[in-house]
């Protein structure tokens, strides 16, 4: 005997069946895939002592801060497709937005530090593309870093394409820092970074072990002139190289980059012209014949 539910039309029953079937198919696909969970919890204690201020009505003493950062990650692998989600809670214990000790919801947001999907082996080659929000540490992380030393870390959003073979590795990226389509209907006014990072493998040179040789170029653009003519407009390009090699008992590491572009603001048009140099030298005394065992 069939009892009809008068609150659900016949067409509605078909839609519910389709939804249930879709959910079952989705769950069966998830259980068939490889799942990997990971959790990371960190506590950090910071303290400082300000110089006593004679004009203050109180005497400053030691100031202590308690920070916690918790991350829970889920990686799902189904053939050439990888999905990754990482939830993060970062807080200062006793912070104003925590509402600790009060019967109300905390104002601290638990958010996705990373969430992306990745397609591997494109065109049956060792080439991958990543879409979403992700960390993107490159080289010595002087320019593109995870910044995990602080309590939040650093993530980028956009598209990251990369490969690695016997000739080295290639990283291509299109990053969107701010999407301004709500106020300016054009990609030209989005704050974005486009670039390439190359790490070719160098052949061994006599007496020199070349560990690292990187070449990179990226362009950063930000145009807010759609707000007012006096708003900021920045266009700059950075080109550089990083290298590291061993020579006998010494290790050398360096990085050099130049930056050029234009900054338009308040009717002035100054040029951007900058460079930076980094050089490190490490001496391994244990490899000296007179010291080595």
238-277 confidence digits (pLDDT tens): 999 999 888 877 889 999 999 999 887 655 667 878 888 8
- Given phi > 0 = left and psi -120 to 50 = alpha, else beta, which region is 20? alpha
Least confident of 12-21, 76-85, 136-145, 204-213: 12-21
Burial letters 92-104, b for 16+ CB under 10 A, else e? eeeeeeeeeeeee
Compute the mean pLDDT over every residue in the chain, rounded to the nearest whole number: 81
Quote the pLDDT of residue 2: 44
Indicate whether this model's pTM tops 0.75.
yes
**Nearest to residue 279, comparing CAs of 150, 155, 142, 174?**
142
pLDDT digits (tens, 9 = 90+) for 180-196: 877 777 777 888 999 99
């Amino acid at each position: 005997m069939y009892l009809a539910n008068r609150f659900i039309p016949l067409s509605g029953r078909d839609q519910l069946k389709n939804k249930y079937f879709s959910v079952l198919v989705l769950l069966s696909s998830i259980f068939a895939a490889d799942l990997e969970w990971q959790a990371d919890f960190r506590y950090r204690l910071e303290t400082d002592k300000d110089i006593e201020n004679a004009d203050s009505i109180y005497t400053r003493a030691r100031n202590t801060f308690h920070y916690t950062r918790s991350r829970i990650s889920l990686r799902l692998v189904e053939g050439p497709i990888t999905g990754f989600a990482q939830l993060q809670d970062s807080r200062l214990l006793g912070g104003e937005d925590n509402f600790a000790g009060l019967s109300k919801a905390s104002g601290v947001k638990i958010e996705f530090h990373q969430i992306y999907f990745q397609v591997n082996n494109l065109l049956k080659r060792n080439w991958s593309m990543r879409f979403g929000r992700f960390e993107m540490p490159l080289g010595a992380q002087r320019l593109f870093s995870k910044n995990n030393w602080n309590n939040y870390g650093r993530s980028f959003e956009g598209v990251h394409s990369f490969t690695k073979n016997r000739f080295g590795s290639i990283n291509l990226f299109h990053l969107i820092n701010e999407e301004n389509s709500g106020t300016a209907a054009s990609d030209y006014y989005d704050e974005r970074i486009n670039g390439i990072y190359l790490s070719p493998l160098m052949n061994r040179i006599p007496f020199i072990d070349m560990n690292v040789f990187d070449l990179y170029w990226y362009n950063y653009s930000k145009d807010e002139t759609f707000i007012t003519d006096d708003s900021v407009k920045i266009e700059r390009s950075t080109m550089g190289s990083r290298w590291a090699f061993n020579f006998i008992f010494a290790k050398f590491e360096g990085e050099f980059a130049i930056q050029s572009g234009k900054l338009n603001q308040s009717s002035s048009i100054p040029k951007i012209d900058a460079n930076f140099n980094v050089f490190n030298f490490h001496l391994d005394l244990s490899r000296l014949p007179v010291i080595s065992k």
